[in-house]
Amino acid sequence: MAVTYKVRVTTGNFIRSGTRDSISITLVGTEGESPKTTLDNWGVDFFTGSVSDYEVSCEHDLGEIVLLRLHKEGAIELFTTNWYCNFITVTSPKGAAYHFPCYQWMEGYQTLELREGTAKTPAMDTLPLLKDFRIGEVRKRQSNYGWKIFAEGVPHCLDVSSIVELEKDVKFSTVKAALFATRSTSKKIELKLKGYSDSQKSWENLEDIKKVFWFNKSDLSVYVTEHWKDDALFGWQFLNGLNPRMIQRCTKIPSNFPVTNEMVAKSLGEGTTLEKELEKGNIFIADYKLLDGVPAGVNNERQQYVAAPLCLLHLSKQKLLMPLAIQLSQIPGPQSPIFLPSDSEWDWILAKTWVRNADFHVHQAITHLLRTHLLAEVFTMATIRQLPTCHPLYKLLIPHTRYTLHINTVARENLVSQGGVFDKHTGVGFKGLVEVLQRGTQALTLTSLCLPEDLEARGVSSLPHYYYKDDGLKIWATVKSFISGMIDFYYQNDSSVKEDWELQKWMEEIFKKGFMSQKSSGISSLLSSVQELKKFLTMVLYTCSAQHSAVNSGQFDLGAWMPNFPSSMRKPPPTTKGTANLENYKDTIPEINTTCIILSVLWLLSAPPGDLIPLGNYPDQHFTEEAPKKLILAFQEELKKISKEIDKRNESLGNTGVPLTYEYLYPPKIENSVSI
Ligand code: FE2
């Protein structure tokens, strides 16, 4: 008996997602296939944002609809136009609805097969047709997305050399691409006009640095400009700045940093000693030993310098983290004096500036590039290459990979390449950057990527005014609970994790390509329990969203006043006290062109991104079942609660010594993925 199926097609609602090509459909059911049917209503079909209904007639019932084929063919126009299809719903004559998430581009003339949207692990598929489908899909993606080595001993990356080679599905949207291009070119032109970007001279007046980006200032950048010499702001940045995972509790003064009680007695105040403060747990240390021996680069044809400082800090009675002492090398001795707040003004400022410079290198190479961008790319690649679209973890993770391959390709082309911005305008150059990345990769551990364990290991869980910790722990717990709900729904027990060979391949790829098969990372190439899977996925989702936001968004706020975040040092670290003054300070920090070029990059990377999707928002409905949809809603509600708590906290920061709000982990400002 002839039957009719209703078909509803939703086209993407962003620029150029509609097509004028001819679209036909074939429905594939357990009891047979429909004839290929052209979807053609009166007037224009498939325009941007359209939702249109069609009918497909068959000679008999098709049973369960498991697949459909979309055929894109030539219409009247001579030229083909791309089509971005969001979603298709098929309703059977008996009223059963089958949902087909698409969310991909169709380019040229082609046929695209889509599976019905219910998420399924390989064990849940029984039909040979569907089993073959998932194998074929993964095989195709593996040929389209290959790996390459960016540098030996560093996480591998997508094998393309330019964004021109990227698949359209992973590229920036038209809106984001246009905004990104406008911002990067307008900054270059503006700096050129001012004559800044060509000048290799030192700044004549530090005040002139303010002029570079005077119209882009933020409350925080203004505060830093006015308070950059304050020890309280210097200490605050270890907690809430760009690199908030550098400090650890110090229980014993290291033998290579011989700070004595006499040196710090004045800073500690009366009635206590260094020994007592160590016992109380009030002493902290930032040790940049990772930079020791890293080769320095050459900027503007002049040799640059890199230091590996140590900085001791004290949690004061006012609950402020204050620097006590700084040593600029890992080897103590007469050539490496221990600088103190009681030294001459410029000796102390210069010592702190060296620490800020070391922080620039560790932040950009390790905290930002390696531990968010490069790992996010590995997670993205493994998800695309090893998980078919119907896999629950593909549906869960794909929104958290948006634009990552594009931004990392841009970074490899322009920023972190040989001859790129970082090579020419930071103190480590390309060779040094690779060495820092290699050392950082060797030290990668799962523990250090899991916020609660990282804080515990560094002994900083009880530090006050540590908003990176406070807000981060709340978001971590919320992400964990969301992931937990999802995993419990799809995996009944540890065996179902172990037997999911697609998941195991995904994990194996991450272990090999991201953690370089290092057992010391605490990661294994096998996931053997529900618990392990939950923990790993929580880390993945948190790293791609909140962690990147925490270490990316403040780059302009904290770096606009260049002396607070200098990318390079033009003179070696001082070997005696009493030699620093304003004049040689200006000849040590970056010259005019380096300052301007780095500032324009920091601005570009931390300006509010166009086309942002905040954490926990999933406009693309990859999940079609009720249970995951409910979990998404609960996740969003929890994030709203956290936002309210952060609002309240930020309102009451007036009398905390450093009256700055902390918004880098404010959920509406956290992007779902690494996209900038
Ligand atoms: Fe970033």
Average pLDDT over residues 279-302: 97
| Closest to 158 measured CA to CA, from 471, 509, 504, 656 | 509
Q: In angstroms, how far is the first alpha carbon of the chain from the final one?
A: 56
Q: Residue 675 C-alpha to ligand 1 middle, in angstroms? A: 7
What is the pLDDT of the chain when averaged over all its residues? 95
Q: Residue 339 C-alpha to ligand 1 middle, in angstroms? A: 33
Say what the pLDDT of residue 591 is: 96
Average pLDDT over residues 368-388: 98
Q: Residue 285 C-alpha to ligand 1 middle, in angstroms? A: 26
Q: Tell me the three state secondary structure of residue 221.
A: helix
* Verdict on whether the full-model pTM lies above 0.75: yes
Say what the pLDDT of residue 652 is: 86
Q: Residue 24 C-alpha to ligand 1 middle, in angstroms? A: 41
On the question of pLDDT at 77 being above 70, the answer is no
Q: Residue 416 C-alpha to ligand 1 middle, in angstroms? A: 12
The residues placing their C-beta within 5 Å of ligand 1, an ion, are 552
Pairing verdict, β 83-91 and 97-106: antiparallel
Say what the pLDDT of residue 74 is: 86
Contact call for residues 231 and 341 (beta carbons, < 8 A): yes
Average pLDDT over residues 207-229: 87
Q: pLDDT tens-digit profile of 580-631?
A: 999 999 999 999 999 999 998 998 888 877 789 999 999 999 999 999 999 9
Say what the pLDDT of residue 440 is: 98
Say what the pLDDT of residue 262 is: 97
Contact call for residues 304 and 296 (beta carbons, < 8 A): yes
Reported confidence tier of residue 212, pLDDT bands at 50, 70, 90: confident
Q: pLDDT tens-digit profile of 428-442?
A: 999 999 999 999 999
Q: Residue 674 C-alpha to ligand 1 middle, in angstroms? A: 6
Q: Residue 377 C-alpha to ligand 1 middle, in angstroms? A: 12
Q: Residue 547 C-alpha to ligand 1 middle, in angstroms? A: 10
Say what the pLDDT of residue 184 is: 80
Q: Residue 536 C-alpha to ligand 1 middle, in angstroms? A: 21
Q: pLDDT tens-digit profile of 27-70?
A: 999 999 999 999 999 989 999 999 999 999 999 999 999 999 99
Contact call for residues 571 and 427 (beta carbons, < 8 A): no
Percent of the chain scored above 90 by pLDDT? Answer: 89
Output DSSP code: residue 168: G
On the question of pLDDT at 343 being above 80, the answer is yes
Q: Residue 548 C-alpha to ligand 1 middle, in angstroms? A: 6
Q: Residue 170 C-alpha to ligand 1 middle, in angstroms? A: 17
The matching CATH number, chosen from 3.20.20.210, 2.60.60.20, 3.30.1360.170, 3.40.190.10, for 3-116 is: 2.60.60.20
Say what the pLDDT of residue 193 is: 64
Q: Residue 42 C-alpha to ligand 1 middle, in angstroms? A: 47
Q: Residue 542 C-alpha to ligand 1 middle, in angstroms? A: 14
Q: Residue 368 C-alpha to ligand 1 middle, in angstroms? A: 6
Q: Residue 557 C-alpha to ligand 1 middle, in angstroms? A: 14
Q: Residue 251 C-alpha to ligand 1 middle, in angstroms? A: 34
Q: Residue 633 C-alpha to ligand 1 middle, in angstroms? A: 27
Say what the pLDDT of residue 191 is: 72
Q: Residue 632 C-alpha to ligand 1 middle, in angstroms? A: 25
Q: Where are the domains of the chain?
A: 3-116
Q: Residue 112 C-alpha to ligand 1 middle, in angstroms? A: 34
- Distance from C-alpha of 640 to C-alpha of 646, rounded to nearest angstrom: 10
Average pLDDT over residues 479-492: 98
Q: Residue 373 C-alpha to ligand 1 middle, in angstroms? A: 6
User: Please, where are the H alpha helices in 342-493?
Assistant: 345-361, 375-386, 392-397, 404-410, 421-425, 429-442, 446-449, 451-458, 467-490
Say what the pLDDT of residue 608 is: 77
Reported confidence tier of residue 189, pLDDT bands at 50, 70, 90: low
